[in-house]
Amino acid sequence: MTALEKALEYSRKLNIDECEIVSTIRKVTTVRITDSEIFELKQNFEKSYGARIIHDKKITSVQTSNEEEIQKAIENSLKNISSLKPRDFWKSLPTNPKLNKPLDGVYDKNLENVSGSKAADIAQTMINSALDSKIFAISGSLNIVSETFEIGNSNGLSLMDRGTYVSGVINADSFGESEVSGLGQGCSRTLEGFFPEKIGEDAKIMCKESINPKSCQSGKYSIIFEPYSMGEILAFVGAPNFNFKTFVEKKSCFSNKINEKIANDDFSLIDNPHISQGIGSKPFDDEGIPTKIKTLIDRGEFVKTYSNLFDSFKEDVASTGNAIRPGSPMGRSSEPIPSSGPHNLEIKSGDTTKEEMIKNTKHGIVVGRLWYTYAVNPIIGDFSCTARSGIRLIENGEIVNPGKPVRIIHNFPKLLKNISSIGKDKKNVIQWASLPSITPSIKVEGIHVDVI
């Protein structure tokens, strides 16, 4: 009998109404790069457990890394449950679901068994492809995660999922008239889908194209957000607006817009947990509900939100299968209380190349990377971000100069309405400790920028 099964059996002996146990076994390999060299390589093996206890409609939880302590921790949590407020809307943990066929491109045995020396070789390839006489420093990291995630509950649910993840990032720095940098990023679920050479090459190109930047005038521009910058806007500004809890509490900028047009007719936003190589792809969510592909925005129309069991029960509706227990730097954790989140936010590709976008731009900016992106007033959708690298100025269909940093203060609903072009250069992106997305370049009209 496994530790998870023993814990569930013990909860039955205590006559607990419902108990949910999650366990994660994770191997995390991290390579850190500083001053154009591998600075640190470490491998951690993690094993942890989380328990959610529901008794008399009161909910408590506990987490531990010691399997010998699970039963005692459950017993102690039950003793303290009397002081909690009952959640009268709570219905029930799920039973064993009928799952779809196994997903492709989410587990790689070679990645699970990767050695420290192999990880160092991959990181060195990232470094080597970024080397150039105009680049004086290279930094970054490589993270490889393999995990076994199990979930069981007192209603008979018993599921297990194995996954692998790899993500790399390179920052390349250079001096001209001022210090500039470039970023390269890549992530996937298999070694076959991961291209370390391209990560370094992308960082090198962005850095070299940023040397000797020129100031632009504050004012309105057409902005082409490349995949990494668009992914940051989705993760930190866009995604919360489609959370069911945020929606019903009238804290979403689209709370009164369901089944209305909120975006350009060509724009569709999907939560796709089944896509091959997706960092958030999984057959079932972190409560054991089968995942489904969900369209949140369909050709400009706001049609759906995402939710977990708790938030759905509160409004007497069904969960959409979007319970998440995010692990760091990727994957799942044993966090005992899940939150709601999209699995992979995917923007449907358009049919325009980035070169065509530039050619059709009279007065604009290409933005490769954003920093400090956050919602200023989430209820109306105002947000702020800073473009500090990968900035190129466009005049009459041509890139004329690299640009100096600018600040963008804009509004998310206006951004969606003013999308004029959607690229076909879709890419997997993930910012540190954030939501994964799959997005092409997006061109947006009428965005005001301020020179820093």
- Whichever domain contains 57, its CATH number is 3.30.2290.10
160 in the same domain as 48: yes
Tell whether the model's pLDDT for residue 306 goes beyond 80.
Answer: yes
Average pLDDT of the segment spanning 94-106: 91
59 in the same domain as 196: yes
What pLDDT does 228 receive? 96
What is the CA 217 to chain-centroid distance, rounded? 33
Could you read off the pLDDT of 220-276 as tens digits, one per residue? 999 999 999 999 999 999 999 999 999 999 999 999 999 999 999 999 999 999 999
Last residue of a domain, one of 156, 181, 208: 208
Average pLDDT of the segment spanning 366-371: 95
> 188 with 429: CB under 8 angstroms?
no
386 in the same domain as 311: yes
Helix spans in 172-322 (H): 196-208, 227-233, 244-248, 309-314
Last residue of a domain, one of 159, 174, 208: 208
262 in the same domain as 191: no
25 part of a folded domain: yes
What pLDDT does 449 receive? 97
376 in the same domain as 321: yes
379 part of a folded domain: yes
231 part of a folded domain: yes
Average pLDDT of the segment spanning 99-122: 95
138 part of a folded domain: yes
304 in the same domain as 156: no
Q: Crossing angle for the helix pair 116-128 and 196-208, nearest 10 degrees?
A: 30
Into how many domains does the chain fold? 2
214 part of a folded domain: no
Residue 334, token pair as written in the block: 């044993």
197 part of a folded domain: yes
How far is CA 277 from each of CA 120, 188, 213, rounded to the nearest angstrom?
22, 5, 36
Q: Which domain holds residue 10?
A: 3-208
45 in the same domain as 90: yes
What pLDDT does 177 receive? 73
Residue 300 — very low, low, confident or very high, per pLDDT cuts 50/70/90?
very high
198 in the same domain as 316: no
213 part of a folded domain: no
> 313 with 89: CB under 8 angstroms?
yes
108 in the same domain as 251: no
Could you read off the pLDDT of 405-434 as tens digits, one per residue? 999 999 999 999 999 999 999 999 998 778
236 in the same domain as 106: no
Tell whether the model's pLDDT for residue 1 goes beyond 90.
Answer: no
274 in the same domain as 194: no
202: amino acid identity, one letter: D
Could you read off the pLDDT of 322-340 as tens digits, one per residue? 999 999 999 999 999 999 9
Residue 80 — very low, low, confident or very high, per pLDDT cuts 50/70/90?
confident
427 in the same domain as 351: yes
Could you read off the pLDDT of 127-168 as tens digits, one per residue? 999 999 999 999 999 999 999 999 999 999 999 999 999 999
Last residue of a domain, one of 185, 208, 231: 208
Instruction: Write the DSSP assignment of 364-424 as a string of letters.
Output: EEEEEEEEEEEEEETTTTEEEEEEEEEEEEEETTEEEEEB--EEEEEEHHHHHHTEEEEBS
Residue 259, token pair as written in the block: 């089944």
Residue 101 — very low, low, confident or very high, per pLDDT cuts 50/70/90?
confident
SS3 for 193? coil
Tell whether the model's pLDDT for residue 125 goes beyond 80.
Answer: yes
